[in-house]
Amino acid sequence: MSVEPEAHVLGGESQVAPGGLSTGATPTTRGERRALVALVRRGAIGTGGTRLVQSAIAVVVAFALGAVALAANGISPWAAYAALASGSLGGAQSLASTAVQTAPLLVASLAVGISFRAGVFNIGAGGQLGVGALSAALVGGYVHLGSGIELVAMAAASLLGGALWAAVPGLLKAYTGASEVITTLMLTYVAANLIDYAVTGPAKAPGAINQTPQLSGPALLPTLVANTQLTAAILVGLVLVPVVWLLLFRTTYGFRLRMVGLNPGAATAAGFSVRRVGVSVLALSGALAGLAGMLEVAGVLGSVPQNMSLQVGYTAIVVALLGNNAPAGILLASAFLGALTAGSTTMQSAVGVSGPFVVFLEGIMIGSVVGMPALVRAWSRRRRGAARKAGAR
């Protein structure tokens, strides 16, 4: 999995120093400057100009193979993709639906991107999203604080719930060496069972349906477009994009986070605490994922149901990889995946494409993005070998 922090895909955000060094925040200590020099000498930092091409190729490959799969099943690819575009971009209602799908995905993808920047693989954003959603639903359903304050309290509860859920794998990795890939993923299943227990037991609302109490009034995000589910959740996501950019590229913490992700050995030699950065970035990532859960509950669902889908957490990995963990890239990639999800319903009803087709496209994209660097390196080695042979003649 490629998570080079400085290889921006869909937008250049950092300052580029001589030699192609993308620095962002200025080093504040002699140790940090030494770390930068070591990273430059090792070739760990680059401008990443080819990443935009690689992401574009991944999308093209996914749609091309999707067209082959559709044609093999007797479905016109042109009709299917036209229905997909119509359902996601064909009018105000479709655009609103795309924005609804984009909002929680954007926030969850920013969460995943931050952790990947530090070289920490948070695969369990879905579980952190679920815990954040449950925390927000409990505050909104049982603690009534009045207009304005209630939403703030719900957001705080979701941030705290997600942060604590993600901090556990961070501490396990720091003090026992346990892989965060395994622990974050396993805790997603624990979160799903926790939600099921809560909505069938102590947090069950009155009635036959297993869910938390239905939110209403001040516990719901304001609607932006009448007769749609589009709420202020999308505004929260859009505001977080520059906030995350500022954190990563204009703060000392963001600088250290990126340096640890680039080269933990050099960062340690420079006096950085890799352990502390790892725990803190997982907690931060979990907090943002938890906030995405709050946006789902207060913006669309209105309550936490039994068997709540945590798929957004896995889709966020695709978005982070397509956007190369850059906030601007993540914004564009999440809008693209949100459009796919919004248009899939129209595609299914209009031409009979099965629901998992979008998941099939996402799988091809992530495979293409992950495999592309290896293909590029192999192609480069082949070209260098051919050049050497030609020179020898």
DSSP secondary structure of 145-165? --TTHHHHHHHHHHHHHHHHH
Statement: residue 339 has pLDDT above 60: yes
| For the ranges 48-52, 102-106, 307-311, the one whose mean pLDDT is highest | 102-106
Statement: residue 18 has pLDDT above 80: no
**Rounded mean pLDDT, 209-221:** 91
Question: At 393, is the pLDDT very low, low, confident or very high (cuts 50, 70, 90)?
Answer: low
pLDDT at residue 6, rounded to an integer: 39
pLDDT at residue 4, rounded to an integer: 40
Instruction: Please state which CATH class domain 16-74+100-365 belongs to.
Output: mainly alpha
Cα–Cα distance, 369 to 374 (Å, whole number): 10
pLDDT at residue 160, rounded to an integer: 97
The CA radius of gyration of the chain, in Å to the nearest whole number, is: 22
Q: Which tokens belong to 317?
A: 């990995």
Higher pLDDT, 3 or 308: 308
DSSP 8-state secondary structure symbol assigned to residue 244: H
**Rounded mean pLDDT, 221-249:** 93
- Cα dihedral 253, 255, 259, 260, rounded to 10, equals 10
Domain ranges of the chain: 16-74+100-365
From residue 88, alpha-carbon distances to 103, 127, 345 in Å are 14, 27, 9
Statement: residue 25 has pLDDT above 80: no
Question: At 112, is the pLDDT very low, low, confident or very high (cuts 50, 70, 90)?
Answer: very high
Question: At 12, is the pLDDT very low, low, confident or very high (cuts 50, 70, 90)?
Answer: very low
CB-count burial class (<10 Å; 0-12, 13-18, 19+) for 109: buried
pLDDT at residue 10, rounded to an integer: 35
pLDDT at residue 37, rounded to an integer: 44
51-109 pLDDT, tens digit each: 667 778 888 888 888 888 888 888 888 988 898 898 888 888 889 999 999 999 999 99
Q: Which tokens belong to 289?
A: 């994922």
pLDDT at residue 226, rounded to an integer: 84
Of 118, 167, 181, the residue nearest 325 (C-alpha): 118
Statement: residue 252 has pLDDT above 60: yes
**Rounded mean pLDDT, 106-129:** 94
Cα–Cα distance, 318 to 390 (Å, whole number): 41
Cα–Cα distance, 103 to 139 (Å, whole number): 21
130-189 pLDDT, tens digit each: 999 999 999 999 988 877 799 999 999 999 999 999 999 999 999 999 999 999 999 999
pLDDT at residue 341, rounded to an integer: 85
pLDDT at residue 355, rounded to an integer: 67
pLDDT at residue 48, rounded to an integer: 46
**Rounded mean pLDDT, 295-307:** 93
DSSP of 270-304: TT--HHHHHHHHHHHHHHHHHHHHHHHIIIIISS-
> What residues are paired with 223 via a beta bridge?
231
Cα–Cα distance, 229 to 14 (Å, whole number): 35
Higher pLDDT, 80 or 23: 80
